[in-house]
Amino acid sequence: MTLGSNLWSPPPVEAAEEFYAFSKQFSEYDILKLYSANHSMGSLNSNNRANEITSLICSAIDSGTPYSLVRMGDGEGNCLFTHNKYPELKRYILERISYIHFGENLVVPAHFERFLEMMNQSILSADVVCVPEHDTIKRGFHTQNENVDVRAVVGNRTSAISISNLINPTQITSSAWTNRHLLGYYEKIFGNRDCVGIVTSYPEIADLLSRKVS
């Protein structure tokens, strides 16, 4: 079956061929060994660490210490793709993520170096870096060809590779779904605070959050 044929905008033939080559260069074994799961000693932990992270956030608030968490998933991974030996694959994933986020194919490709710089700086400066889950990476190697979302699969793999190369021992990693895992801890984090600042494209969130944690 044609790669990604069951999904919208599957890759052209040249990009598909490069995807298979990329998957051989960075095999399932190569990427999964970056994780600390299944007795591996990798640097990436993609478990649910919401309870631990909540304690760290609260300690930082109480001490007035800056603290940051960043999520690096498939879309961010597309912007981290620096493997220029796969030009058609790179073109495909950058144009797809550009369209998904900006409604236009060329925003990200035209400013790739700037997006790459922002992604790298986000990884380097965060206290917590949320990474694609171990099982998500594994599943991408075992999905039937016609159901493979090439952009998402490549983005997740690239995020894992880039993060493992950039993080230092003072940082911790956790599941890419940490933002959801933290929902049950919002009252502990935000409750009884004199002031909580929110930067969002959804202005109704401030009022909703205030009602939930007051």
The string of DSSP letters for 139-181 reads HHTSS-GGG--HHHHHHHHHHHHHHHHH--TT-EEEETTHHHH
Give the start-to-end residue ranges of the domains of the chain: 13-185
Could you tell me which residues are beta bridge partners of residue 44?
A: 35
Give 193-209 pLDDT, tens digit per residue.
888 888 988 989 888 88
Instruction: State how far the Cα of 214 lies from the Cα of 201, in Å rounded to an integer.
Output: 22
Give 87-145 pLDDT, tens digit per residue.
999 999 999 999 999 999 999 999 999 999 999 999 999 999 999 999 999 999 999 99
Residue 173: phi, psi to the nearest 5? -120, 155
Beta strands in the chain (DSSP E): 69-71, 128-131, 172-175
pLDDT at 98: 98
This prediction has a pTM of 0.94
